[in-house]
Amino acid sequence: MLDAKAIQADFPILQVEAHPGVPLVYLDNAATSQKPRAVIEAMDTYYRSYNANVHRGIHRLSEAATAAYEGARVRVARFINAPDPDQVIFVRNTTEGINLVAFTWGRANLRPGDEILLTEMEHHSNIVPWQLLAEEKGAVVRYIPFTGEGLLDLSRLPELLTGRTRIFSFTAMSNVFGTINPVQELVAAAHAVGAVTVVDAAQAVPHLPVDVQALDCDFLAFSSHKMCGPTGIGVLYGKRHLLEAMPPFMGGGDMIRRVRLEGSTWNDLPWKFEAGTPSIAEGIGLGAAVDYLSAIGMEAVHAHEQFITDYALEALSEIEGLQTLGPPAAQKGGVAAFTLEGAHPHDIAQLLDQDGIAVRAGHHCAMPLHHKLNLPASARASFYLYTTTEDVDKLVAGLHRVRQVFRL
């Protein structure tokens, strides 16, 4: 098991008090993770020592910045076992990665009557882009339902995934239930009917080993800020033959090979999809985050989170009136969303904050999921490599105080 208490020492913010005399207990990692000192220092060093634009300059600073930025791409490719760094496209976040696929591959290939298959447990970022595309192209969006346990109802797959399906886009791990979906199985089923697959891995890549070649997915997107890296940068992985056939997403500098008044030609991968000055410091920070997680080992991160989640679910089950959402710990990542009878999730979060405990409250950008459950919102505690059993104990104590305040 990981020594989560020792790991906390790598994260400056975890040494900060939430309120005077009240230690911070950070349990909102599904929204964003905290950043280790190594990431903060890597970005600081760039700005202090070799700040310059990348790719265009031939002076020392630019060459150093380009080497660091492109070196981060290499490390990201290795982290997800991409065949080539050229297949790693830097975007702002998972949302932009999914939109890139929808508005390039989707616009070029969808026809009226084609179908897009999603699931009912998707984040809005993996619903809205496809709804916009379907409206524009005259396509139909269909959804795989989830069961009462928060698992995909795969018995419906044969009727929903058919020869009419052109795109099957789904989450590798639910940000509400925490459900870890059978990505390899779903990708194989999609390919059997000729559909292209898009995997929302925002919650998966930070928490468990991901191998894009083993999964055989066509596209996979994730965000830096959920995996110890900075905000403002994410990754879209794609198979080479698809990326090369797709039109650019945005026009401007760096994504062109040649510009004439009569027309333009496009740059090679990955820069064809990276118009304008990129998020250089953020890319370098992501590279440092990948180094940090790689040194610890993603198998170890996943094992620790499963232990913590199992511990948390058992402890939460003893609180009267509390109902957790999703499957058992063995089938989910480090997420424990819940409701407490008689207390609104926003009130729960506010009272927990007084005890220094940071959790999320709301619909977690998954309104259709909550609507199906007939819930306006839920509270969510989410864990990471630095979460300890003591953190969970404080959460449970805080929830008992919530019950006392509301006289439940």
What pLDDT shows up at residue 266?
81
pLDDT at 347 over 90: yes
Q: Where do you find CATH 3.40.640.10 in the chain? A: 50-294
Neighbours of 155 (CB within 10 A): 10
pLDDT at 123 over 90: yes
Catalytic entry in 24, 296, 365, 375:
365
What pLDDT shows up at residue 42?
98
Q: How many CA atoms lie within 13 A of 258 on its CB side?
A: 4
Q: How many CA atoms lie within 13 A of 79 on its CB side?
A: 30
What pLDDT shows up at residue 263?
86
pLDDT at 339 over 90: yes
What pLDDT shows up at residue 254?
81
pLDDT per position as a tens digit, 146-158? 999 999 999 999 9
- pTM given for the model: 0.96
Q: Where do you find CATH 3.90.1150.10 in the chain? A: 4-28+298-405
| CATH no. of 50-294 | 3.40.640.10
54-63, 114-123, 188-197, 386-395: the lowest-pLDDT one: 54-63
Neighbours of 396 (CB within 10 A): 16
Average pLDDT of the residues of the chain: 96
What pLDDT shows up at residue 79?
98
CB 100, CB 249: distance < 8 Å: yes
Find all residues with CB under 8 Å of 127, minimum gap 6, and list them.
118, 368
Q: Is the model more confident about 267 or about 193?
A: 193
pLDDT at 56 over 90: no
CB 26, CB 358: distance < 8 Å: yes
Cα dist from 234 to 47, 88, 109, 311, whole Å: 20, 10, 25, 31
What pLDDT shows up at residue 181?
98
- Residue 143 pLDDT class (50, 70, 90 cuts): very high
What pLDDT shows up at residue 1?
78
Is 228 tagged catalytic? no
Tokens standing for residue 174: 């639910």
What pLDDT shows up at residue 223?
98
Sign, CA torsion 37/40/43/46: negative
Q: What is the mean pLDDT of residues 227-254?
A: 94
Q: Is the model more confident about 233 or about 58?
A: 233
Q: What is the mean pLDDT of residues 90-114?
A: 97
- Residue 245 CA to chain centroid, in angstroms? 26
- The percent of residues in the chain predicted with pLDDT above 70, rounded, is 100
Find all residues with CB under 8 Å of 334, minimum gap 6, and list them.
29, 30, 178, 207, 305, 306, 308, 309, 382, 383, 384, 387
CB 289, CB 281: distance < 8 Å: no
What pLDDT shows up at residue 38?
98
Task: State the Cα–Cα distance between residues 257 and 297, nearest whole angstrom.
Answer: 39
| 4-28+298-405 carries CATH number 3.90.1150.10 | yes
pLDDT per position as a tens digit, 252-307? 878 788 888 888 888 788 989 998 999 999 999 999 999 999 999 999 999 999 99
What pLDDT shows up at residue 183?
98
